[in-house]
């Protein structure tokens, strides 16, 4: 039998890898901003809901609290540089759309723009804000989803893997690897 040895560390967030996304917001005057987040998750499938966690000192935080709207834009290998830039530069100082050459597209319901280069964009409306400590969690309903037609096949099936999505793991951006299985493969009859 294999012998396993593990160190005990102080409590911390080691739930990696995580999706890394660019969240877009727009203030009441229509000025857009992009914030990169990895603390993002699925909350419910019916109604479709997500959560994002944001530090109150971040520039986009007040916009989120004021408008109650945002768009989650999935990231790709092609968007990796912009993803990092939008996470380390503040919208107080720069126009991230302009600096990164990203396309702000109108959403169908919320006022925050979509990122045209993103393969999937989820329009979201905040239902609740939960102060949790260093971050506040914004629970939100997904009110519309935009899928890039470049990744649709002839049967109208979406292939996110063709967009080469990226993930975040403890300070590093990683590509998603090869498919290892599909849902239910462990119990499927051969």
Instruction: Flag whether pLDDT at 102 surpasses 90.
Output: yes
Instruction: Flag whether pLDDT at 179 surpasses 90.
Output: no
Mean pLDDT for the stretch of residues 154-159: 93
If you average pLDDT over every residue of the chain, what do you get? 95
Residue 5: count of CB within 10 angstroms of its CB: 4
Return phi, psi of residue 21, to 5°.
-130, 160
E strand map for 46-183: 48-54, 69-74, 104-105, 114-115, 120-131, 136-147, 166-169, 172-175
Q: pLDDT band at 2, cuts 50/70/90? A: confident
Using one digit for the tens of pLDDT, what is the confidence trace for 13-35?
Answer: 888 999 999 999 999 999 999 99
For residue 159, the model assigns a pLDDT of: 92
Q: All domains of the chain, ordered by start, with CATH? A: 18-175 (2.30.110.10)
Between residues 178 and 96, the one the model is more confident about: 96
């Amino acid at each position: 039998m294999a012998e396993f040895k593990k160190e005990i560390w102080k409590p911390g967030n080691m739930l990696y890898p995580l999706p890394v996304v660019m969240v877009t917001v727009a203030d009441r005057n229509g000025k857009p901003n992009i914030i990169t987040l990895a603390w993002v998750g699925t909350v419910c499938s019916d109604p479709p809901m997500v959560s994002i966690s944001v530090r109150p000192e971040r520039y986009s935080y007040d916009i989120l609290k004021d408008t109650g709207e945002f768009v989650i834009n999935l990231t790709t290998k092609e968007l990796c540089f912009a993803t990092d830039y939008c996470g380390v530069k503040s919208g107080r100082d720069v126009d991230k759309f302009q600096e990164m050459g990203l396309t702000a597209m109108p959403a169908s319901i919320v006022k925050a723009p979509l990122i045209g280069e993103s393969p999937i964009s989820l329009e979201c409306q905040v239902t609740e804000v939960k102060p949790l400590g260093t971050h506040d969690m914004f629970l939100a309903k997904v009110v519309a989803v935009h899928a890039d037609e470049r990744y649709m096949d002839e049967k109208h099936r979406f292939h996110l893997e063709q967009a080469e999505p990226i993930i975040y793991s403890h300070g590093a951006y990683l590509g998603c690897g090869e498919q290892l299985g599909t849902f239910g493969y462990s119990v499927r009859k051969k």
